[in-house]
Amino acid sequence: MSADTRAQRRRAGVRLWLPGLWLGLLCLAALAAPWIAPHDPLAQDLMLERLPPAWVGGAEPGYWLGTDSLGRDVLSRIVWGARIALVVALIAASAACLLGSALGLVAGYFGGWPDRVVSRLVDVWMAFPPVLFAILLVAVLGAGLHSVILAIAIIDWTRFARVIRAEAMVQARMDYVHSARIGGAGRIGTLLTEVLPNVLPSVIALLALEMGVAVIVEAILSFVNLSISTDDPTWGSMIAEGRASIHFAWWVLVFPLVALFLTVLSFSQFGEGLKDRFDPVLR
CB of 34 or CB of 183, closer to other proteins: 183
Position among 31, 56, 183, 231 found at the interface with other proteins (CB under 8 A): 183
Per CB under 8 A, 261 contacts other proteins: no
Number of residues assigned to the chain: 283
Q: How far is the CB of 186 from other proteins (least distance, A)?
A: 8
CB of 54 or CB of 196, closer to other proteins: 196
Between the alpha carbon of residue 150 and those of residues 92, 154, 263, the distances in Å are 7, 6, 21
What phi and psi values does residue 36 have, to the nearest 5 degrees? -95, -20
**Could you tell me which of 10, 13, 9, 3 has the C-alpha nearest to residue 283?**
9
Q: Residue 47: helix, strand or coil by DSSP? A: helix
Position among 36, 139, 174, 192 found at the interface with other proteins (CB under 8 A): 174
CB of 193 or CB of 225, closer to other proteins: 193
Q: How far is the CB of 19 from other proteins (least distance, A)?
A: 25
Between the alpha carbon of residue 99 and those of residues 96, 118, 157, the distances in Å are 5, 12, 6
Q: Is 123 exposed, middle or buried (0-12, 13-18, 19+ CB in 10 A)?
A: exposed
189 to 218, contacts with other proteins by CB under 8 A?
A: 193-194, 197-198
Per CB under 8 A, 119 contacts other proteins: no
Per CB under 8 A, 280 contacts other proteins: yes
Q: How far is the CB of 193 from other proteins (least distance, A)?
A: 7
Q: Residue 73: helix, strand or coil by DSSP? A: strand
Positions that interact with other proteins (CB under 8 A):
174-176, 178-187, 193-194, 197-198, 280-281
